[in-house]
C-alpha cells in the first residue's frame, strides 16, 4: 500500500511540471492569436463593413464556443444571477469593443490600433476610485506614464488633426478600450456562479445580436465580407484565433500566477507592431515607438501595483 501511495505521489509530481509547461505553451498561443488578429482584421476590412465584420466575428465565435462547450459537456444555461455579467461582458467587452475597434481600425494602422486598444488597464485605475479602492503609488505612477504615452501618440507630429476620419478612428479605439475596462471592472466585483468559459458563448451570442442591430442602423448597405480575402480573414479571426485565444487565456489565468500572465500579455502590442510592420508595411515612427513604450511601461507599473496591493 505504501509503495502504491509513493508511486501515486510521484505521478502527481510528474504531472505538475507538465501542466505548467502546457500553461506556458497556451500563453504563447494566446499571445500569437491576439497579436495577429489586428493585422488580419485590417486586411479583412478592405472587403467588408466594420460593424458587419464585427457582427460576423461575434457570430462565428459564438457558434464555435457553443459547439466546443457542448462537445465537452460544459454547456450550461445562465441563471438570473448570471444576467448582470452576461450583459456587461456581452455589451461592453464584445459588442462595443469589436464594433468600436473595427470602426477605428478602418482609418488607423493595425499596430497603432492595437497599442491604443491595449490602454484598457490604464482606465481601470480611475474606475477603482468609484468603489474607494486604494490606488497606490505604483498604479498611480503607471497611469501617469501610460497617459503620457497616449499624449505622445496624439501629438500633432504623430496624428494628422486635420483629417477628421483619422481623428475619429483614434477616438473610437480609445472608446473601445474604455468599454473593455468597464467590463473588466464589473468582472472583478461580480460573484461568479458559472465559469467565464461557460458564460462565453452566451455573451458572444448577445454581442452578435447587438452588433447586427447596430450594423443595420449605421451600415444598411454594408457587407460582412464582399471578397474571398475578407471571408478568409473573418474565418481566421472569428472561428479560429478569437475562440482559441479566449480559451487559452482562460486556462492560463487558472494555471499561472497573475503577474506572469499580465506581463506576458504585454508582449501582444509589441508583437502586433512588429507583425504589422513586416506584413502590412506599416511604419514604426519615433512617436509611435515612444508612445507605445510609455504605454507598456505604464501598464507594467499598474500590473505590479495590482499584484503588490
CB 300 within 8 A of CB 267: no
Q: Is 118 among the domain residues?
A: yes
Q: Is 53 among the domain residues?
A: yes
Residue among 47, 91, 74, 102 at smallest CA distance from 227: 47
The CA distance from 22 to 90, in Å, is 29
Q: Is 128 among the domain residues?
A: yes
CB 265 within 8 A of CB 80: no
Residues 6+ apart with CB under 8 A from 218: 51
Q: Is 59 among the domain residues?
A: yes
Q: How far is CA 105 from the centre of its chain?
A: 14
Residue among 73, 49, 93 at smallest CA distance from 212: 49
Residue among 164, 118, 91, 33 at smallest CA distance from 293: 118
Domains in the chain, number: 1
Reported as a single tens digit per residue, the pLDDT across 188-230 is: 777 778 888 899 999 999 999 999 999 999 999 999 999 999 9
Q: Is 137 among the domain residues?
A: yes
Computed over every residue of the chain, the mean pLDDT equals 89
Coil, strand, or helix at residue 283? coil
Q: Which residues span the domain enclosing 295? A: 30-308
Reported as a single tens digit per residue, the pLDDT across 105-164 is: 999 999 999 999 999 888 888 887 777 777 788 888 999 999 999 999 999 988 989 999
Q: Is 21 among the domain residues?
A: no
| Mean pLDDT for the stretch of residues 270-299 | 95
Coil, strand, or helix at residue 257? coil
Q: Is 10 among the domain residues?
A: no
Q: Is 23 among the domain residues?
A: no
Amino acid at each position: 500500500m505504501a509503495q502504491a501511495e509513493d508511486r501515486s505521489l510521484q505521478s502527481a509530481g510528474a504531472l505538475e511540471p507538465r501542466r505548467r509547461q502546457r500553461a506556458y505553451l497556451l500563453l504563447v498561443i494566446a499571445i500569437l492569436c491576439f497579436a495577429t488578429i489586428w493585422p488580419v482584421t485590417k486586411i479583412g476590412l478592405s472587403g467588408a463593413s466594420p460593424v458587419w465584420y464585427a457582427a460576423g466575428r461575434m457570430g462565428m465565435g459564438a457558434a464555435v464556443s457553443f459547439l466546443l462547450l457542448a462537445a465537452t459537456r460544459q454547456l450550461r444555461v445562465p441563471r438570473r444571477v448570471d444576467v448582470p455579467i452576461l450583459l456587461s461582458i456581452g455589451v461592453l467587452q464584445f459588442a462595443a469593443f469589436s464594433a468600436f475597434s473595427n470602426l477605428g481600425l478602418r482609418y488607423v494602422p493595425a499596430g497603432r490600433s492595437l497599442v491604443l486598444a491595449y490602454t484598457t488597464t490604464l482606465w481601470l485605475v480611475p474606475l477603482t476610485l468609484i468603489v474607494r479602492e486604494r490606488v497606490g503609488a505604483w498604479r498611480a505612477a503607471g497611469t501617469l506614464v501610460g497617459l503620457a504615452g497616449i499624449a505622445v501618440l496624439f501629438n500633432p507630429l504623430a496624428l494628422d488633426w486635420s483629417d477628421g476620419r483619422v481623428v475619429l478612428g483614434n477616438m473610437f479605439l480609445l472608446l473601445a478600450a474604455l468599454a473593455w475596462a468597464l467590463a473588466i471592472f464589473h468582472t472583478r466585483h461580480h460573484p461568479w456562479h458559472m465559469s467565464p468559459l461557460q458564460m462565453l458563448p452566451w455573451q458572444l451570442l448577445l454581442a452578435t445580436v447587438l452588433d447586427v442591430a447596430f450594423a443595420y442602423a449605421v451600415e444598411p448597405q454594408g457587407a460582412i465580407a464582399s471578397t474571398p480575402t475578407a471571408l478568409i480573414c473573418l474565418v481566421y479571426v472569428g472561428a479560429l484565433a478569437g475562440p482559441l485565444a479566449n480559451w487559452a487565456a482562460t486556462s492560463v489565468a487558472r494555471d499561472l500566477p497573475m503577474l506572469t500572465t499580465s506581463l506576458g500579455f504585454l508582449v501582444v502590442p509589441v508583437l502586433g507592431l512588429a507583425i504589422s510592420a513586416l506584413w502590412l508595411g506599416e511604419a514604426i515612427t519615433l512617436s509611435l515607438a515612444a508612445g507605445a513604450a510609455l504605454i507598456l511601461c505604464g501598464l507594467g507599473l499598474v500590473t505590479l501595483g495590482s499584484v503588490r496591493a
